[in-house]
Amino acid sequence: MSTPAVAVRELQVRLAGVPILTGVDLTVAAGEWVTVIGPNGAGKSTLLRAIGGLLPTQGAVALFGTPIQELRRRERARVVATVAQSPVVPAGMSVLDYVLLGRTPYIPPLGRESTADLAAAHDVLDRLDLAGFHTREMATLSGGERQRVFLARAFAQGATLLLLDEPTSALDIGHQQDVLELVDQLRHAHGLTVVATMHDLSIAGEYADRMVLLADGRVAATGTPREVLTAELLSRHYSATVKVVEGDHGPLVVPVRPRSSPHSRDVRGGW
Ligand SMILES: Nc1ncnc2c1ncn2[C@@H]1O[C@H](COP(=O)(O)OP(=O)(O)OP(=O)(O)O)[C@@H](O)[C@H]1O
């Protein structure tokens, strides 16, 4: 078997003395799209941050065969690009300057961005439907526009592994599809590997080759979308009532109102 893009073994993460991830194993093949799902607080973002080398961990994390701690900062930035849920944006920064931050690993220390760096930044802005936005200040963008700029920065980085933490949570359905189709196109054209987290389970299942269900910091299930997106697993781990129906590209998860909801009890007494 060829070297996996991501190999996580017996991963433990403690934050503020509290165990957040326990005994997590995960292998992602080069070129694969794996989506991590799970209820709020399950540890999805923590897992992505651990894979990106952004957290102290116990256990082993290797990217393309190299232990993460052996990759120096610039080297790591050429291998892995992370889009966090709420990245910090320096005050007053323009869209173009923010996207150019993605080119930092290619700019020599004390140097300036080259024509190629500028072309790469404008190219991703075009592809993400942001062509007219390059001079806008980041703080003036809508939530969905900002989320696309965060993705633009990651694409401009030219890394082979994309870690996307809820990349479409602020997007309307049209832009959700555009962005995910673009990620998939880039994946096929450039052999990228994608590890994403998503709360929209139907969309998650349409794009992922494989899914990992995290619950309470442990892997509760892993497999194809059809194996993981079952009413039984979802109701057990999300405490949700759902119906799973067959779509054109895999299972679709439809939340349905429970027959006897705790809220349907007599509420005449008020709050
Ligand atoms: N710095 C921290 N100190 C203490 N606990 C933390 C810290 N960061 C995260 N946690 C806790 O770790 C748990 C997992 O958080 P994480 O953000 O990984 O969950 P998640 O699955 O991504 O959740 P969500 O779906 O809500 O985004 C949560 O209970 C969270 O409160």
ipTM of this complex? 0.97
User: What pLDDT does 270 receive?
Assistant: 61
Task: Tell me the domains of the chain and their CATH numbers.
Answer: 1-79+160-225 (3.40.50.300), 87-158 (no CATH)
Strand order in the sheet with 218-223: 80-83, 161-165, 193-197, 33-37, 210-215, 218-223
Name the residue of 14, 44, 85 whose CB sits within 8 Å of the most ligand 1 atoms, as the mutation to test its pocket: 44
DSSP 188-214: HHHT-EEEEE-S-HHHHHHH-SEEEEE
User: What pLDDT does 269 receive?
Assistant: 57
Name the residue of 11, 15, 22 whose CB sits within 8 Å of the most ligand 1 atoms, as the mutation to test its pocket: 15
Q: At 17, which helix (H) or strand (E)?
A: none
3-state helix, strand and coil shares in percent for the chain, rounded to the nearest 5: 40, 25, 35
Helix (H, G, I), strand (E, B) or coil at 271: coil
Helix (H, G, I), strand (E, B) or coil at 35: strand
Among 266, 254, 162, 213, smallest CA distance to 39 is for 213
Alpha helices in 59-172 (DSSP H): 73-79, 95-100, 115-127, 143-156
| Cα angle 83, 167, 220; round to 5 | 95
User: What pLDDT does 260 receive?
Assistant: 67
User: What pLDDT does 266 receive?
Assistant: 57
**CB-ligand 1 contact for 38 (6 Å cutoff):** yes
Query: Relative to the CA of 49, which ligand 1 atom is closest?
Result: 18
Here the tokens at position 79 are: 């291998």
**CB-ligand 1 contact for 40 (6 Å cutoff):** yes
User: What pLDDT does 187 receive?
Assistant: 92
| pTM, full prediction | 0.91
Query: Relative to the CA of 43, which ligand 1 atom is closest?
Result: 18
* Residues of the chain where predicted confidence (pLDDT) is lower than 50: none
User: What pLDDT does 63 receive?
Assistant: 97
Separation of CA 170 and ligand 1 centre (Å): 19
Among 86, 98, 200, smallest CA distance to 143 is for 86
End-to-end CA distance of the chain: 60
